[in-house]
Amino acid sequence: MPNEIKWDLLHEQAKIAMKNAYVPYSKFPVGVSALVNDGRIVSGCNVENASYGIGLCAECGLISNLAMTGGGRLVAVVCVDGNGDFLSPCGRCRQLLFEHGGNELLMMTPDGPQPMSFLLPWAFGPANLE
């Protein structure tokens, strides 16, 4: 795992991902990027659908990218809105991120990095199914 998290790089990668969002209905683009424990950076953007309920959040794309490129554990995540400002994931996406990063996963917030245990207290995960 890298010794230092390059938050500025993750922020830039999230903004690049956000520019690829498909948002013809909400006009609310979201981008996300994450550092993986092997040093890779994975990204995702939101993809809407005319059937609103089946749109995909940016974090869904990020987790798909993670799995497709070899898996691993997420270490740090930055999520941004259309202005490049830090954005908090919805509850569903916090659960997706928790599954692949656990309580120690750091999420950038306007107040600085916060662990997933702060953003999703008492999380339910794979260990609960053993």
Active-site residues, by number, are 59
Q: Is 13 exposed, middle or buried (0-12, 13-18, 19+ CB in 10 A)?
A: buried
Assigned token pair, 107:
């999420």
Helix, strand or coil, per DSSP, at residue 77 = strand
The number of residues making up the chain comes to 130
Instruction: Tally Cβ neighbours within 10 Å of residue 88.
Output: 14
Alpha-carbon gap, residue 106 to 74, rounded angstroms: 9
β-pairing verdict for 74-80 and 106-109: parallel
